[in-house]
Amino acid sequence: MTEHTSPPLILASTSPYRRQLLERLRVPFTVIPSDVDESAWPTETPAQLACRLALTKAQAVAKLHPDSIVIGSDQVADLHGDALGKPHTHARAVAQLQRMRGQTVIFQTAVAVVCQARRFAQTELAQVKVQFNQLTDKEIEAYLLAEQPYDCAGSAKSEGLGIALLARIDNDDPTALVGLPLIRTCQLLRAAGFEVL
């Protein structure tokens, strides 16, 4: 790895999936979780929620580290305008997957890059259309017991066994469904003055 002359890079996230994705870029970074209320506002769409939370997470950490470049990200599963977040429990995961079977769900994945010292703050949104199979209750139960995706928006890990739940995925940023759209992340980092390569 070559030595970096860019400002320090911080991932404002507790997600192990986002950390693993960012590691693909082979750049040094630290992880500092943001303490942000992830509740939706009353009239907020799932896309607006994802964008607001990604930017709020990045800004919260950037305030404490103004010379660093901070990445924030958030994902919301969008079922016909209803925001489906992380289920956290088995019962909620069952209910989510029952609602999504046979449906097209849009996974709204936002990434924000903020650097206070450079007065830089931009957000991008990747929208991934996912067609779910017509799942039986037995299939849903078997999947949840095997993978326990209770920390994933929409209760499915496409990078694991969750791929068996799906009929089709349409997107233009392959890592967006996992939780961090790396194409858009690289574009934002370059715009902020960070040397990706």
**Catalytically annotated residues:** 74
CA 183 to chain centre: 13
Beta strands in the chain (DSSP E): 9-11, 30-31, 69-79, 82-84, 104-115, 120-132, 166-170
Q: Using CA of residue 22, residue 25, residue 31, residue 35, what is the dihedral sign?
A: negative
Pairwise CA distance, residues 117 & 189, whole Å: 14
CB-side exposure of 43: number of CA atoms within 13 Å? 0
Q: How many residues does the chain have?
A: 197
Percent of the chain as helix, strand, coil, to the nearest 5: 35, 25, 40
Pairwise CA distance, residues 34 & 12, whole Å: 6
The helix-helix angle for 90-100 and 137-147 (nearest 10°) equals: 130
